[in-house]
Amino acid sequence: MAQAYEKAVFAGGCFWCIEHDLKPLEGVIQTQVGYAGGDLENPTYEQVSSGKSGHVEAVEITYDPDIISYEELLRAFWQNVDPFDSGGQFCDRGQQYRTVVFYRTPAEKSTAEDVKGKFETLLGGGPFVTDLLSYTNFYPAEDYHQDYAERNPTRYSFYRWNCGRDQRINEVWGR
């Protein structure tokens, strides 16, 4: 009998970083980086990074809901981004690097609104600018972007450090 896995799509700046942060969670079966939310079919990295495609860099997460819930994924996602930055994330600037939760059902939307509201209250730094959008599409990125942190650990670590990602996450989330 086939396992009933579910999918979630989140955008949080550089897709390499969100993939790296969420992939190790227990219950995450698979991750795939790509592009979501725009109208252009099968966009390329160059088209998305130009900021003109309407897409954001995103991660599609396949997970086992018997091990990790959608709410737990949302919590992990938000704790790995700067939810107050509307201009992108860290050194990646532009609408293609903004934070987005793509919900698939009314229940997912409700859960996202609930978690977002609780974290806004907890942090008290103003409203989260993360968009909650109905899922419309996801296009896998080019092969060289998949599992980038695992395949290029030195380059990835330098990129992440140079962008100040962990430093800002520590400021926002107190870690």
- DSSP letters along 15-33, please? HHHHHHHHTTSTTEEEEEE
- Residues contacting 90, CB < 8 A, separation 6+: 13, 14, 82, 163, 164, 165, 168
* Active site (catalytic) residues: 14
Distance (Å, rounded) from C-alpha 135 to C-alpha 174?
A: 31
Amino acid letter, residue 79 = Q
